[in-house]
């Protein structure tokens, strides 16, 4: 509106007329101070929340699938070959990625737009007298929770980013370096926001989409867990901070003992629209449909991830890798096949009955001949994939809905829905605690937590059946029983924990960041490429460079905008 006003005035001046219009306030423009009423402050807060779901498939930051999944070996890019959103192909192969990758620049920009909304709301909230807005402190805490979330994403993506809060004048932005704070200091800044949120948010919020005290404590535990793994300037883990791990353990206990959350009875419940905001949902993005806007607030971040059949029509991205599918295989005890899972590739429909699997396979991966999204009358077909000769014949399941789901929406040529997307599940909290305990040398205390997650997975087979009532795959899953089927040493416990995180959260966007946190990304991914490129030729150029590829480069556009103030990440 402001731009239209100025164009109109310029036209009037050039024509030498319209003088009677010059003193009028244009419609649709609101003065900054007018936003500081309680009613408008609430709208500013809602606008900051809405940024959670404002992402787009060109640079999604909800599920993080292009950065957390296709860079981890859990997924291929998918689509119609390497040239279809080639920026994502560059992510997947690492060796082809560049500092001028446009998707990275767009991702950086969009996350700072989110932070800008939060800081604007916070700056106004801070100035409002307490006695004029009863919700002031709660809304401040919510905004700091959101800012912590957005900065967490930037931090795990780019490592070094400029930290801008509500107290920084806009005219000073170009003086704030991405190296003002060290690696550890940036984690501390993020933790401070979640600490404030945890101290001032209520236990229960009247609206499901708002962060509460326990969501803040869970996210603080996650932040401290990342901070605990000390990294040098070459991105290598040099040690683990036991004091921070103890804080992680205590925070997880507070969430676990709150009595507010528990594992969903069936793993499927976390990914079905009818079970949104269930007992396992600690914090989730709330999407909407038929909300009075032209197309609703839909999940555009996953808009490319639907099959190519007539019920959908586009676009075949985000394909589970052969390696991931093989990882779900289990041995005679129902335990993971840690060392041998990838020796023989699962490639035929009959292989899913000839081998035994963790049931989470069919909750995560769409497989030819298997019911798609639990509908026995709607069998997934190889022809539904877009380029099976390049990316294989599997697709991702957790983020999608059936075409008959009331939350499904076509946005031609793409597909979407208003189904929630989970940011933190209760299973996360259990495994955060288990990881902290293992690294503290208390692996025996981690055992029941890992088994608790496995027991739920083992019991999640009710929906995994064909029309004739037979199970879709052959399932066999057991718990870890030291002295019977395993030896629960620190090394074995660590291996079990890391495997559990992979399968529990497969295709949810976290895997690559786990590998970097643990300091094993280079070793793991280069071993993955050595085998996987023999199965999928699109990986022929793939290679992970240790000390560089743990983080995306600071986008060249951002360095140029900063006039060289921002410093590039190691290796780029």
- Are β-strands 421-425 and 414-417 bridged in parallel, bridged antiparallel, or unpaired? unpaired
If you average pLDDT over residues 183-200, what whole number do you get? Answer: 98
pLDDT on residue 293: 81
The residues spanned by each domain of the chain are: 1-30, 36-239+510-572, 287-424+464-506
pLDDT on residue 3: 38
Dihedral (Cα; 176, 177, 182, 184), 10-degree rounding: 60
Task: Enumerate the β-bridge partners of residue 330.
Answer: 336
pLDDT band at 15 (very low <50, low <70, confident <90, very high): very low
| pLDDT one-digit tens code per residue, 502-517 | 999 999 999 999 999 9
pLDDT on residue 165: 98
If you average pLDDT over residues 247-253, what whole number do you get? Answer: 98
Listed in sequence order, the residues at least 6 apart from 154 whose beta carbon sits closer than 8 Å to its beta carbon are 108, 111, 112, 161
How many CA atoms, within 13 angstroms, populate the side-chain half-sphere of residue 288? Answer: 13
pLDDT on residue 23: 46
| pLDDT one-digit tens code per residue, 326-369 | 999 999 999 999 999 999 999 899 999 999 999 999 999 999 99
Counting residues of the chain whose pLDDT is more than 70, the rounded percentage is 94
What does the DSSP assignment read for 75-126? EEEESSSTTTTHHHHHHHHSTT--TT-HHHHHHHHHHHHHHHHHHHHHHHHH
Asked if 512 and 71 touch (Cβ cutoff 8 Å), the reply is yes
What three-state secondary structure class fits 423? strand
Residue 332, classified by CB atoms within 10 Å of its CB into exposed (0-12), middle (13-18) or buried (19+), is exposed
pLDDT band at 296 (very low <50, low <70, confident <90, very high): confident
If you average pLDDT over residues 5-14, what whole number do you get? Answer: 32
Asked whether residue 113 carries a pLDDT value surpassing 50, the answer given is: yes
pLDDT on residue 318: 98
pLDDT on residue 103: 97
Q: How far apart are the first and last CA of the chain?
A: 41
Mean pLDDT (the chain, rounded):
93
What secondary structure letter does DSSP report for 19? G
Q: What is the CA radius of gyration of the chain?
A: 24
Q: What would the 3-class secondary structure string for 482-527 be?
A: ECCCECCCHHHHHHHHHHHHHHHCCCCCCHHHHHHHHCCHHHHHHH
CA angle, corner 370, sides to 364 and 531, nearest 5?
A: 55
If you average pLDDT over residues 39-64, what whole number do you get? Answer: 94
Asked whether residue 12 carries a pLDDT value surpassing 80, the answer given is: no
d(Cα 189, Cα 147) in Å, to the nearest integer?
A: 10
Asked whether residue 19 carries a pLDDT value surpassing 70, the answer given is: no
pLDDT on residue 184: 96
Counting residues of the chain whose pLDDT is more than 90, the rounded percentage is 91
Asked if 569 and 553 touch (Cβ cutoff 8 Å), the reply is yes
Report yes or no on whether pTM surpasses 0.85.
Answer: yes
Asked if 74 and 502 touch (Cβ cutoff 8 Å), the reply is yes
Asked whether residue 60 carries a pLDDT value surpassing 60, the answer given is: yes
| CA 459 to chain CA centroid, nearest Å | 26
Query: Worst-scoring range by mean pLDDT, 65-74, 294-303, 423-432?
Result: 294-303
pLDDT band at 28 (very low <50, low <70, confident <90, very high): low
| pLDDT one-digit tens code per residue, 123-158 | 999 999 999 999 999 999 999 999 999 999 999 999
If you average pLDDT over residues 266-273, what whole number do you get? Answer: 98
Asked whether residue 170 carries a pLDDT value surpassing 70, the answer given is: yes
pLDDT on residue 30: 52
Asked whether residue 430 carries a pLDDT value surpassing 80, the answer given is: yes
**What tokens does 470 get?**
């037979």
| pLDDT one-digit tens code per residue, 390-427 | 999 999 999 999 999 999 999 999 999 999 999 999 99
Asked whether residue 11 carries a pLDDT value surpassing 80, the answer given is: no
pLDDT on residue 477: 98
pLDDT on residue 291: 87
pLDDT band at 429 (very low <50, low <70, confident <90, very high): very high
Distances (CA, A) of 506 to 84, 96, 257, 383: 23, 25, 27, 24
**Omega cis (within 30) before 109:** no
pLDDT band at 37 (very low <50, low <70, confident <90, very high): confident
Query: Worst-scoring range by mean pLDDT, 29-43, 181-195, 284-298?
Result: 29-43
d(Cα 126, Cα 196) in Å, to the nearest integer?
A: 14
Asked whether residue 176 carries a pLDDT value surpassing 50, the answer given is: yes
pLDDT band at 21 (very low <50, low <70, confident <90, very high): very low
Q: Which CATH architecture has domain 36-239+510-572?
A: Alpha Horseshoe (1.25)
pLDDT on residue 17: 39
């Amino acid at each position: 509106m402001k731009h239209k006003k100025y164009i109109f005035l310029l036209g009037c001046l050039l024509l030498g007329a319209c003088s009677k219009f010059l003193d009028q306030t244009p419609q649709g423009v609101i003065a900054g101070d007018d936003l500081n009423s309680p009613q408008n402050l609430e709208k500013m807060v809602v606008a900051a929340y809405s940024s959670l779901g404002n992402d787009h498939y060109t640079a999604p930051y909800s599920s993080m699938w292009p950065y957390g999944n296709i860079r981890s070996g859990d997924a291929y890019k998918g689509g119609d070959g390497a040239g279809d959103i080639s920026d994502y192909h560059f992510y997947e192969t690492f060796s082809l990625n560049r500092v001028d990758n446009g998707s990275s620049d767009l991702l950086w920009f969009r996350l700072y737009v989110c932070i800008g909304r939060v800081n604007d709301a916070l700056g106004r909230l801070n100035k409002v007298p307490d006695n004029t807005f009863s919700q002031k402190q709660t809304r401040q805490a919510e905004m700091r929770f959101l800012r912590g979330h957005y900065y967490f994403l930037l931090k795990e993506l780019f490592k070094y980013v400029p930290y801008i809060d509500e107290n920084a004048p806009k005219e000073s932005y170009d003086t704030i370096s991405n190296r003002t704070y060290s690696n550890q200091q940036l984690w501390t800044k993020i933790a401070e926001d979640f600490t404030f949120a945890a101290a001032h948010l209520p236990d229960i919020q009247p609206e499901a989409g708002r962060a509460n005290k326990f969501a803040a404590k869970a996210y603080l535990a996650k932040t401290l867990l990342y901070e605990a793994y000390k990294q040098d300037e070459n991105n290598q883990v040099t040690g683990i901070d036991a004091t921070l791990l103890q804080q992680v353990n205590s925070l997880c206990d507070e969430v676990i003992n709150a009595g507010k959350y528990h594992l969903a009875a069936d793993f499927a419940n976390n990914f079905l629209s009818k079970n949104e905001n269930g007992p396992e949902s600690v914090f989730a993005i709330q999407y909407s449909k038929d909300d009075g806007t032209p197309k609703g607030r839909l999940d555009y971040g996953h808009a490319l991830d639907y099959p190519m059949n007539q019920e959908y029509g586009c676009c075949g991205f985000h394909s589970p890798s052969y390696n991931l599918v093989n990882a779900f295989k289990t041995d005679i005890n129902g335990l993971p096949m840690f060392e041998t899972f990838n020796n023989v590739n699962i490639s035929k429909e009959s292989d899913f009955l000839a081998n035994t699997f963790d049931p989470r396979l069919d909750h995560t991966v769409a497989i030819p001949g298997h019911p798609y999204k639990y509908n026995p009358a709607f069998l997934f077909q190889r022809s539904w994939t877009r380029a099976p000769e390049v990316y294989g014949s599997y697709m991702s399941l957790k983020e999608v809905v059936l075409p008959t789901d009331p939350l499904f929406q076509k946005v031609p040529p793409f597909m979407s829905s208003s189904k929630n997307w989970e940011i933190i599940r209760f299973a996360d909290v259990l495994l955060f605690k288990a990881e902290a305990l293992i690294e503290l040398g208390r692996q025996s205390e981690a055992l029941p937590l890992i088994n608790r997650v496995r027991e739920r997975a083992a019991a999640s087979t009710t929906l995994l059946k064909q029309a004739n009532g037979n199970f879709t795959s052959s399932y066999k899953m057991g718990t870890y029983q030291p002295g019977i089927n395993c030896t629960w040493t620190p090394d074995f416990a660590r291996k079990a924990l890391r495997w559990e995180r992979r399968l529990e959260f497969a295709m949810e966007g976290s895997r690559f960041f786990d590998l970097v946190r643990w300091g094993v990304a280079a070793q793991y991914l280069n071993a993955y490429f050595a085998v996987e490129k023999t199965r999928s030729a699109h990986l022929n150029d793939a290679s992970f460079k240790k000390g560089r590829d743990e983080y995306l480069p600071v986008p060249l556009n951002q360095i140029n905008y900063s006039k060289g103030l921002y410093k590039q990440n190691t290796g780029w």
